[in-house]
Amino acid sequence: MKEVEINVDLNHREKLRRLHTATHIVNYSARKVLGNHVWQNGSNLKAEFGTLDITHYDNLSEKEIYEIEKIANETIFENKKVQVEELDRGDAEKKYGFVLYQGGAIPMKKLRIIHVFDSDIEACGGIHMQYTGGIGIVKIIDATKIQDGVIRLKYVVRDYALDFISDRQAILNEACSVFTVSPTQLPKTCEKFFNEWKEQKKDIEKLKNQLKTSYIEQIISSRKKSFLISGDWDMGFLLDIFNSVVNEIPSFKLESEKFIFATNDLKVEKFKKQIPKGKFNIYVM
């Protein structure tokens, strides 16, 4: 027999205890808010955060996420006792029903039942807090639909939750500082700037189309086989001009700072990349 020394990282273990207990509470809270159809579809715990997959037919609204958080934190703040009970499988199922298997089937004759006072009841072999108050606080930081009928909740507790809230507050303060407004004025201010940006984008697009038409008319009227357009134009802008011109001038080359468009009968030298397009080539300069 060899002696084996095992070291337990108590700090890491304590983080998992909080998150594991929080998983039960978040699952219970989601069922209270969304309905009894909610069922735990899987979970994963790390020291920094936990994820809980629940069955639900739609993405969660901000209001629903807040309500789940609210119920979960009320359970934590009330410092409810987390009780552990061991029962034979038959007795456990008769007493509590198949809701015991929220975390999945357990292939054991004797089940370890976790009670979060009058909230969650579930068969579970994981480590837990003795009282919910030790979790500190829970914050849901993401809710994502990972497949049809399954929503993944990502949450943090205690120090990680406080850090998350502090980081978001810092971002809010910085955004308010940029616009020189209070937090309550920020949404309307952002909406105002966004609408102005959309209008400016429409005006720019209108001017680009006018300029594009002007170039096309100028090139066709000149009947030149080669034309240089100055400026840092995107490929789509130049391609529209080239396609319109080759309908009138079958042998044609359009040059710019970044690209050259040329029909197959015309040669181009010193380019980085050639992109064949059938009857013409695009050259990246």
Does the structure show a pLDDT above 80 at 8? no
- Separation of alpha carbons 120 and 252, rounded Å: 75
Q: Are residues 144 and 223 in the same domain?
A: no
Q: Are residues 48 and 160 in the same domain?
A: yes
Residue-range definition of the domain harbouring residue 101: 10-169
Say if CB 285 and CB 235 are below 8 A apart. no
Does the structure show a pLDDT above 80 at 210? yes
Q: What is the structure's pLDDT at 196?
A: 94
Say if 175 falls within a structural domain: no
Say if 217 falls within a structural domain: yes
Query: How does pLDDT run across 229-271, given as a tens digit for each residue?
Result: 988 899 999 999 999 999 899 999 999 999 999 999 998 988 9
Share of the chain above pLDDT 90, in %: 67
Say if 119 falls within a structural domain: yes
* The token pair that represents 4 in the structure block: 């084996």
Q: Are residues 32 and 98 in the same domain?
A: yes
Over range 24-28, report the average pLDDT. 92
Q: Are residues 121 and 18 in the same domain?
A: yes
- Claim: this prediction has a pTM higher than 0.75: no
Query: How does pLDDT run across 160-169, given as a tens digit for each residue?
Result: 999 999 999 9
**CATH number of domain containing 146:** 3.30.980.10
Say if 183 falls within a structural domain: no
- Separation of alpha carbons 216 and 209, rounded Å: 11
Q: What is the structure's pLDDT at 103?
A: 66
Burial 262-275 (b: 16+ CB within 10 A, else e): bbeeeeeeeeeeee
* Last residue of one domain, picked from the residues 169, 192, 227: 169
Say if 247 falls within a structural domain: yes
Q: Are residues 39 and 121 in the same domain?
A: yes
Cα 277 to the center of its chain, rounded Å: 37
Listed in sequence order, the residues at least 6 apart from 155 whose beta carbon sits closer than 8 Å to its beta carbon are 22, 26, 49, 50, 51, 52, 138, 139, 140, 141
Say if 187 falls within a structural domain: no
Q: Are residues 117 and 252 in the same domain?
A: no
Q: Are residues 128 and 245 in the same domain?
A: no
The single-letter code of the amino acid at 238 is L
Q: Are residues 146 and 265 in the same domain?
A: no
Q: Are residues 49 and 142 in the same domain?
A: yes
Query: How does pLDDT run across 64-83, given as a tens digit for each residue?
Result: 999 999 999 999 999 989 88
Say if 144 falls within a structural domain: yes
Does the structure show a pLDDT above 80 at 36? yes
* Last residue of one domain, picked from the residues 111, 137, 169: 169
Say if 95 falls within a structural domain: yes
Q: Are residues 81 and 29 in the same domain?
A: yes
Per the structure, the count of domains in the chain is 2
Query: How does pLDDT run across 112-141, given as a tens digit for each residue?
Result: 888 787 667 787 877 888 999 999 999 999
Summary mean pLDDT of the chain = 90
- Separation of alpha carbons 255 and 242, rounded Å: 10
Q: Are residues 240 and 128 in the same domain?
A: no
Q: What is the structure's pLDDT at 131?
A: 93
* The token pair that represents 58 in the structure block: 């739609």
Does the structure show a pLDDT above 80 at 56? yes
* Last residue of one domain, picked from the residues 169, 184, 202: 169
Listed range (33-37, 97-101, 240-244, 246-250) with the worst mean pLDDT: 97-101
Please name which of 123, 143, 124, 106 lies closest in space to residue 29, comparing C-alpha atoms.
143
Q: Are residues 143 and 226 in the same domain?
A: no
